[in-house]
């Protein structure tokens, strides 16, 4: 099973990704986690690509699609992805969609489904403001949260359309208790994939 999970900030992608991966016995691959891991990597043991990414991140630069695609290709080439995977945080651009299609085609596979967590924007803002208060995240104020929501919509609307046009987009209500949302996701995926 080869899956993507998408959704606006605060929709619980990371939490649900872990649950989906555990449920279907596939690895959850978060590009955010990969990049954070690279940033902390020991320079003596890091690959040339990891060092390049680390330097870009330390300088505050943007990791290009080309480099991001290379990192994802390396990760998808690892043995634990042979039976499938769940990608979280990738692809984010049309170029990355094309690169992922090519990577999968080279391996004789394709995406099975794209889970899109859907949620009311005001509900998500409230959720994130609550989290910011609990975790002491001073940078998470309503203005920055709403800006991130807008950026998500701008960047992903076209990608969601691509996957909807392919007939593999599975929209799921992302609001509710973690287990409740998880059950909705499993039911929607099982129905979509005839399991």
Ramachandran area for residue 60 (φ above 0: left; ψ -120 to 50: alpha; else beta): left
pLDDT digits (tens, 9 = 90+) for 25-36: 999 999 888 887
What pLDDT does 42 receive? 75
Burial 8-41 (b: 16+ CB within 10 A, else e): bbbbbbeebbbbbbeebebebbbbeebbeebeee
pTM as predicted:
0.87
| DSSP structural state of residue 80 | G
**What length does the chain have?**
195
Q: Are 47 and 155 in contact (CB under 8 A)?
A: no
Q: Are 104 and 160 in contact (CB under 8 A)?
A: no
Domain-wise residue ranges, the chain: 2-193
How much is the average pLDDT of 94-98?
94
161's tokens: 């359309």
Give Cα 44 to chain centroid, integer Å.
29
Mean pLDDT of the chain: 89
- As a whole-number percent, the residues of the chain with pLDDT over 90 amount to 52
Long-range Cβ pairs for the range 154-157 (8 Å, 24+): 155/92, 155/93, 156/6, 156/92
Residues acting as catalytic residues:
13, 92, 131, 137, 148
pLDDT digits (tens, 9 = 90+) for 2-56: 999 999 888 889 899 999 999 999 999 998 888 878 777 777 777 787 888 888 8
* pLDDT tier for residue 171 given thresholds of 50, 70 and 90: very high
* pLDDT tier for residue 103 given thresholds of 50, 70 and 90: very high
pLDDT digits (tens, 9 = 90+) for 63-85: 889 989 999 999 999 999 999 99
Does residue 98 or residue 155 have the better pLDDT? Answer: 98
| CATH for 2-193, options being 3.30.310.50, 3.40.50.970, 3.40.50.12780, 3.40.50.300 | 3.40.50.300
């Amino acid at each position: 099973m080869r899956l993507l999970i998408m959704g606006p900030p605060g929709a619980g992608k990371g939490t649900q990704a872990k649950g989906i991966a555990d449920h279907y016995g596939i690895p959850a691959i978060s590009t955010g986690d990969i990049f954070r891991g690279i940033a902390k990597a020991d320079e003596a043991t890091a690959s040339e690509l990891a060092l390049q990414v680390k330097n870009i991140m330390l300088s505050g630069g943007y990791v290009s699609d080309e480099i991001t695609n290379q990192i994802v290709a390396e990760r998808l080439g690892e043995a634990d992805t042979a039976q499938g995977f769940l990608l979280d945080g990738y692809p984010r651009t049309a170029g990355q969609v094309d690169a992922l299609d090519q990577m999968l085609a080279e391996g004789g596979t394709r995406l099975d489904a794209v889970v899109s967590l859907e949620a009311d924007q005001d509900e998500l803002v409230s959720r994130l403001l609550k989290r910011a208060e609990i975790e002491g995240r001073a940078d998470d104020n309503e203005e920055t949260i709403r800006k991130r929501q807008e950026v998500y919509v701008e960047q992903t609307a076209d990608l969601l359309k691509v996957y909807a046009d392919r007939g593999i987009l599975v929209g799921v209500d992302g609001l509710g208790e973690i287990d409740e949302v998880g059950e909705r996701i499993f039911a929607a995926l099982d129905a979509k994939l005839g399991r």
